[in-house]
Every structure is written in structure tokens, then in C-alpha cells.
């Protein structure tokens, strides 16, 4: 309690030991050379990760108008780069990668406010006793979203990195869990129905059989069976286009209540169906997108409408519409998900960062974060360095970042801002007002991803469950790691082995429009300590699996929580975005190049997947080259 409060602590409003450890003054070379990198501690492997207080303290201070009151006058480092990128996530790293492929001798600097690369695409790494190799999972972006529909830029990037999607089926053993009698399940929790009840959704059984196990009213059981097995045409006599127009004006919960007129227990049962995918529940998800996404155990009630499914509705969100013609679903190519893409790109740009750079070797490679910012490298990645200003000038552009002690500036021939688009108006003072307002529309959905390393998964096997959806508890899903292996990585295959289980919490507040729900949920999330989230992991897994021999004190051996207050990029969705699809679309205005400053990040598409991040990066690079 007697340690000094650092400037970074002041900006965040809280004092954190991890932050203090990083706040060392920069060291200069002898003479007038450029500033050497500030020593940074290695990221903590477990505990709270993602948007930690250290990562978001300075951006929040800039947003709130507190930063420049005490930041002092920016000091030049003497460094000059052909390109400076704000953001070391998929989009920022892809922009740097695209630039170096076009300009091999270019000098590039990537700045990021986090203490590790990847942005929302992160990995979780565990070292369980008795397993020679690490156990690896994802921390936010676990799959490649329908890669058969990716943009030309995304497809070309995968090919350049040696990602052979024809091998995806060999990497993921889709039959492992079914062979062991393990299926998806619903955990009707006491938060929703007053009692806990696990119901396994065995695809070999009938709807009546699994619905009979739900702790809901008898009328609700009849309604649910009807919705799944024999829904009528709720809108008889209306043409296809009119039916879809009506669905575009409703949420899925509204469709169930107002059109199907089901018992309230049915609405409660369906509330969290979209939560892990969209970041919000059925009270927000548009009925038109629920129709397009309906599966064997999700979004029932549409089959009787007789809607033309040969093509998407104009009202479907861009991501749903794009996936319509997909030859694949979400592809699990690496156990760490899209984090592998980021590390493969950096490994090809930064000498010494990784011991392997191939699609097969990246999962088990060793990484040296100390190699990222060596002065001799053409491409440098500077972590724990939030960008606080970007401005055009007669010679190119100037970018300022906070190094933990003061604001430092670097010169840039061009700038790609691949950070949160809603933050950019605070970084570029003279951006046109119309563009600033459009950028503020990109309010990301908050999401929390927890990965727990278990001693074994016998209790999951005993319960017959591989993934459980909770109807109203804090974590909405708990899912065993998908059995993805590579040439160098062996996934767990026996219930006696250690394994990772992944949980998702959507903080968005119920009963609000997406942007309002995101903002309200984010405020609650940032006030929730790690200990509370850890307790919920242990408590919910105990409730789910306790009857099958699970003991959280014994069986949970490590836990990593990735807190993403700014998680999924917001797509345009009905019924909330009345301007969609006819326009004008805010993103069209938000992503305009401004002098030597170009805009990337998936917010600028907008789309919540890796391809959106990549395509926006390549577009930003073209914008600078065409300037």
C-alpha cells in the first residue's frame, strides 16, 4: 500500500501492481539516436487477460478528457517509419503484413495497448502435470468463419500462409465425442426456472423425449414440441417478401410472443440461444436472422412459414447473408483459433519471434516477445503502448503513444488505424465531424471468454455432455475443447486426460437495443473483479457436473479469463438498424481515408470475424497507396 501511484495508474483511476512493473522510463542510446524500447514484463499466463486495467486505462482517460491534463508535452523519439499501425490484432498485423509484401524494404511499426499480440484473437496455454506438451485453447476467436465465402484478400492471405483448408476435416475429429456418447445439452438453471435440470439433446431421440425433461409448464412443453416438429404457417395468405419484412421488424423473442403466442416459459428457454454467437440474447436477435440460422435445437418456429430459402433476405445481416452460400461452417483449424494467423504473420516479419511459422508448427512454437521491438528489425511491434494521437502534417503523419511514462511520437509516411473505430475520433482531432459521428456508431459488443484447464473430463463423459447451454446463469455456455490436432499438436482423446473447457459470458444488458445494451453491460463488466468471475466458473461447473463426480477444488487446475469489454464488431441488424440494407451505412463514411491516415479494423466493414479484419486491412493499405 506504500508504493507510489504511477502516471498510468492515475489515468486508469486504479492502482495495479502489474501496471507499476511496466512503468519504467525509456532508455536512450548514446548520442541522439532513437529511443530504445521500454522493458516490458512477460504476460501473465493465467488470471485476468484481455482488456485488463493496464490495457484500457489510457484509452479511457483519452476518451474521458482526463489524459492530456497530465500527460505533458509529447516528446519525439527520433524514429521514422514508412508505415505506423495502431493495433496488433488480426487487422493491424494483416495491414503490416500486406504493406511489407508490397514494399519489402519498408520500415513498419505496430503499436498496441495490450501486453500481447492478437487483439481479440488470443490463445490460452496450460501446462498440466503428466502431459508432456502444453494444452492450448483459444481466448476469443476460436474458428475461421465460413472460409469458403472469404474475400479475395482473406483467401489470398490463407494461401500465402500455407493454410490448406482441405485438411480441416483431418484436423478436427468430429466423431470423437459422439462415439463416447457425448452430445449438446441444455442446463435449465435456477436463475431462470427456479431449479437446476440438465437435459441432454441426443439427436437420436425425439423432441417429446428431451422436452419432457425440462422444468417448464405443461403448456410450454406442448408449445415447444409444436415449434420444433410441426409449426403452422403463422402468417397465412401473405407473400414471401411480406413475411420476411414482418420478421425483419421483430426480435426472435418478439416473434415467439407476438406471432407464435407461446407460453412465457418457452421464451425464457430460448433466451440464450444466440448469446455465445452474437453477444446478446433472443430479446435482441432479429427474427429474420434467427430464421436464417435455425438448426436442429435452435430457433424453432419458422418451418411452417414456407419461406423461400434459395437465397438470403435483403434484411439478413451481412454476416448471415454471406454465409448463405458457404460450403463449410465455422472451421476449427487450430486449437488456438485465429491467434495462429496473427502469429504466423508476425513470425514472417519479425526475426526471432517464433521457432516456427508454418500452419502445422505455429501451435507448438515458442515465442519471444522480447524480439518484437528490436531496433535492428524492419518491422517492430511495440506492446503496452496505447496510441493517443495521430495527425497529418506536410511531411506525412505523426503518431503519439504512451510508453508508461510519457507520450512519445514517431514519424510516419502513412498510418493505419486498426484500433476500435469508436476510439479514433479521440485520436484524430481534426477528423471531419460527420466521420467522427459515423465512427461512434461502431459500439462493440462486450464478451468474456474463460478457459479452465481440467484434471480430466470423466464427469463430462459420465453426464453425456460435450457442450451445455445455460438458460440464464452468468456463463451461457460451457464447452469442451474441440478435438483439433495438428502435425505437432496432440489433442486430448481420453476422458482420463487433462482438457480445456471454454465458457462464454455476454455482459450486454437485456431489454435494450444492441448499442445501449453493450454500453450498459460494459460498465457492469468493468466493475466485476476477476475473483467474482472465477467463482462463477467453479460454481456453475459444480452445478452442471457435480452429480457426475466433478469437484471444482480438485478438478479445475488453472483458469484464464479473457475480458473483452470491446469484443465483437457490431453488424447491421434488423429490427434495430432501420437504415439497413438501403443505406446510407455509417461504415461507408467512417472508413474514409483522411490524408495519410487510413482506417482498418473489422468495425469498418462491419463484421465480427477474421475475414472482415483482413479485408479491411488490405483496403486501408490500398487507400494509402492510392493517396
Show the domains of the chain with their CATH numbers: 7-27+50-120+341-355+366-442+581-626 (3.50.50.60), 123-180+443-568 (3.90.660), 217-328 (no CATH)
pLDDT at 24 over 80: no
514 has pLDDT over 70? yes
What is the DSSP annotation of 432-462?
-HHHHHHHTT--PEEEEEEEEEES--HHHHH
Going by C-alpha positions, the residue among 431, 444, 479 that lies closest to residue 183 is: 479
- Whether 540 and 473 have beta carbons less than 8 Å apart is answered as yes
Q: What is the rounded CA–CA span in Å between residue 293 and residue 273?
A: 11
pLDDT of residue 172: 93
Tell me what percent of the residues of the chain surpass a pLDDT of 70: 93
Q: What is the pLDDT of residues 136-176, one digit of tens each?
A: 999 988 899 999 999 999 999 999 999 999 888 899 999 99
What is the tens place of the pLDDT at every residue in 580-606?
A: 999 999 999 999 999 999 999 999 999
pLDDT over 60 at 40, yes or no: no
Backbone torsions φ then ψ of 544, nearest 5 degrees: -70, -45
449-469 average pLDDT score: 98
List C-alpha distances in Å: 52 to 60, 133, 195.
12, 28, 35
Residue 51 confidence (pLDDT) above 70: yes
Per-residue pLDDT at 463: 98
Can the peptide bond before residue 584 be classed as cis, meaning omega within 30 degrees of 0?
yes
Closest CA to 595 of 445, 429, 371: 429
Burial 345-363 (b: 16+ CB within 10 A, else e): bbbbbbeebbebbbbbbbb
Instruction: Compute how many other C-beta atoms are within 10 angstroms of the C-beta atom of residue 497.
Output: 18
> 282 with 250: CB under 8 angstroms?
no
Cite the beta strand spans of 61-122 per DSSP E. Answer: 75-86, 108-111
**Preceding peptide of 265 cis, ω within 30°:** no
pLDDT category, 43, cuts 50, 70, 90? Answer: low
| Per-residue pLDDT band at 241 (split at 50, 70, 90) | very high
pLDDT for residue 14:
37
- Binned at pLDDT 50, 70 and 90, residue 356 comes out as very high
What three-state secondary structure class fits 59? helix
Q: Which three cell numbers stand for residue 336?
A: 488456438
* pLDDT bucket at 329, cuts 50 / 70 / 90: confident
Q: In Å, how far are 137, 140, 244, 490, 493 from 334, measured between CA atoms?
A: 9, 13, 37, 11, 16
Alpha carbon distance 228, 221 (integer Å): 11
Whether 31 has a pLDDT exceeding 70, the answer reads: no
Beta-carbon count within 10 A of 245 CB: 16
Whether 46 shows a pLDDT value over 90: the answer reads: no
In whole numbers, what is the pLDDT of the chain averaged over residues? 91
Cα first-last separation, the chain: 53
pLDDT interval class at 16 (50, 70, 90):
very low
**Residue 36 pLDDT > 70:** no
pLDDT band at 627 (very low <50, low <70, confident <90, very high): confident
Average pLDDT of 115-127?
94
Mean pLDDT confidence for 8-36: 36
The reported pLDDT for the residue numbered 131 is 87
pLDDT tens-digit readout, 207-232:
999 999 999 999 999 999 999 999 99
Is the pLDDT assigned to residue 607 strictly greater than 60? yes
- As given in the structure block, the three cell numbers for residue 319 are 454476416
pTM above 0.75?
yes
Neighbouring C-beta atoms of residue 297, cutoff 10 Å: 17
pLDDT digits (tens, 9 = 90+) for 542-578: 999 999 999 999 999 999 999 999 998 989 999 999 9
Q: How confident is the model at residue 133 (pLDDT cuts 50, 70, 90)?
A: confident
Largest CA distance in the chain: 83
How many C-alpha atoms does 241 have within 13 Å on its Cβ side? 1
Confidence band of 42 (pLDDT split at 50, 70, 90): low
Give the pLDDT confidence score for residue 4 in this predicted structure. 45
- Map grid coordinates 495521430 to a residue: 390
Position 270 scores a pLDDT of 98
What backbone phi and psi angles, to 5 degrees, belong to 411? -90, 150
Rounded distance between C-alpha atoms, residue 474 and residue 504, angstroms: 9
DSSP code string of 366-416: -B-GGGTT-TT-SEEEE-S--EEEEEEETTEEEEEEE-SSSEEEEEEEEEE
Place of cell 489515468: 11
Phi, psi of 599 (to 5 degrees): -115, 125
Locate 415 and state its grid cell.
498510418
Amino acid at each position: 500500500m506504500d508504493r507510489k501511484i504511477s502516471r498510468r495508474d492515475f489515468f486508469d483511476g486504479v492502482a495495479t501492481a502489474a501496471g507499476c512493473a511496466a512503468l519504467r522510463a525509456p532508455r536512450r542510446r548514446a548520442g541522439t539516436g532513437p529511443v530504445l524500447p521500454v522493458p516490458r514484463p512477460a504476460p501473465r499466463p493465467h488470471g485476468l487477460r484481455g482488456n485488463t486495467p493496464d490495457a484500457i486505462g489510457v484509452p479511457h482517460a483519452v476518451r474521458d478528457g482526463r489524459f492530456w491534463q497530465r500527460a505533458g508535452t509529447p516528446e519525439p523519439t527520433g524514429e521514422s517509419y514508412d508505415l505506423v499501425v495502431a493495433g496488433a490484432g488480426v487487422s493491424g498485423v494483416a495491414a503490416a503484413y500486406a504493406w511489407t509484401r508490397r514494399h519489402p524494404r519498408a520500415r513498419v511499426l505496430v503499436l498496441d495497448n495490450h501486453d500481447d499480440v492478437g487483439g481479440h484473437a488470443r490463445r490460452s496455454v496450460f501446462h498440466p502435470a503428466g502431459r508432456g506438451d502444453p494444452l492450448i485453447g483459444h481466448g476469443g476467436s476460436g474458428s475461421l468463419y465460413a472460409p469458403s465465402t472469404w474475400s479475395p484478400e482473406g483467401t489470398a492471405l490463407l494461401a500465402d500462409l500455407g493454410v490448406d483448408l482441405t485438411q480441416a476435416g483431418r484436423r478436427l475429429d468430429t466423431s470423437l465425442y459422439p462415439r463416447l456418447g457425448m452430445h449438446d445439452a441444455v442446463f435449465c438453471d435456477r436463475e431462470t426456472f427456479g431449479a437446476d435440470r440438465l437435459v441432454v439433446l441426443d439427436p437420436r431421440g425425439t423432441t417429446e423425449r428431451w422436452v419432457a425433461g425440462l422444468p417448464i409448464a405443461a403448456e410450454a412443453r406442448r408449445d415447444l414440441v409444436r415449434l420444433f416438429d410441426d409449426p403452422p404457417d403463422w402468417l397465412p395468405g401473405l407473400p414471401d417478401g411480406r413475411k420476411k419484412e414482418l420478421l425483419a421488424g421483430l426480435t426472435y423473442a418478439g416473434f415467439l410472443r407476438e406471432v407464435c403466442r407461446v407460453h412465457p416459459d418457452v421464451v425464457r428457454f430460448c433466451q440464450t440461444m444466440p448469446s455465445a454467437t452474437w453477444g446478446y440474447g433472443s430479446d435482441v436477435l432479429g427474427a429474420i436472422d434467427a430464421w436464417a440460422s435455425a438448426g436442429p435445437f435452435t430457433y424453432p418456429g419458422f418451418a411452417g412459414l414456407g419461406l423461400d430459402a434459395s437465397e438470403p433476405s435483403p434484411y439478413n445481416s451481412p454476416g448471415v447473408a454471406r454465409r448463405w452460400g458457404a460450403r463449410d461452417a465455422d472451421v476449427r483449424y487450430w486449437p488456438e483459433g485465429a491467434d495462429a494467423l496473427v502469429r504466423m504473420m508476425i513470425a514472417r516479419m519479425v526475426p526471432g519471434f517464433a521457432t516456427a511459422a508454418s500452419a502445422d508448427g505455429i501451435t507448438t512454437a515458442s515465442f519471444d516477445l522480447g524480439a518484437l521491438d528490436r531496433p535492428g528489425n524492419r518491422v517492430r511491434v511495440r506492446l503496452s503502448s496505447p496510441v493517443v494521437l495521430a495527425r497529418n502534417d506536410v511531411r506525412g503523419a505523426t503518431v503519439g503513444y504512451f510508453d508508461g511514462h510519457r507520450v512519445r511520437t514517431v514519424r510516419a509516411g502513412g498510418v493505419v488505424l486498426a484500433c476500435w473505430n469508436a476510439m479514433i475520433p479521440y485520436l484524430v482531432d481534426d477528423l471531419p465531424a460527420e466521420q467522427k459521428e459515423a465512427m461512434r456508431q461502431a459500439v462493440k459488443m462486450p464478451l468474456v471468454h474463460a478457459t479452465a484447464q481440467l484434471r480430466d473430463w470423466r464427469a463430462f463423459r459420465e453426464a453425456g455432455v460435450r457442450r451445455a447451454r445455460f438458460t440464464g446463469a452468468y456463463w451461457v455456455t460451457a464447452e469442451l475443447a474441440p478435438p483439433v490436432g495438428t502435425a505437432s499438436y496432440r489433442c486430448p482423446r481420453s476422458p482420463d486426460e487433462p482438457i480445456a473447457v471454454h465458457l462464454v459470458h455476454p455482459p450486454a444488458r437485456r431489454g435494450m437495443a444492441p448499442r445501449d445494451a453493450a454500453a450498459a453491460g460494459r460498465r457492469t463488466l468493468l466493475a466485476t473483479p476477476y475473483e467474482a468471475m472465477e467463482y462463477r466458473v467453479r460454481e456453475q461447473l459444480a452445478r452442471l457436473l457435480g452429480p457426475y463426480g466433478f469437484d471444482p477444488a480438485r478438478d479445475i487446475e488453472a483458469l484464464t479469463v479473457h475480458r473483452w469489454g470491446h469484443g465483437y464488431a457490431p453488424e447491421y441488424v434488423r429490427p434495430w438498424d432501420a437504415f439497413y440494407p438501403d443505406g446510407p451505412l455509417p461504415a461507408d463514411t467512417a472508413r474514409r481515408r483522411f490524408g495519410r491516415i487510413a482506417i482498418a479494423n473489422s468495425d469498418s466493414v462491419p463484421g465480427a470475424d477474421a475475414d472482415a479484419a483482413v479485408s479491411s486491412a488490405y483496403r486501408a493499405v490500398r487507400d494509402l497507396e492510392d493517396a
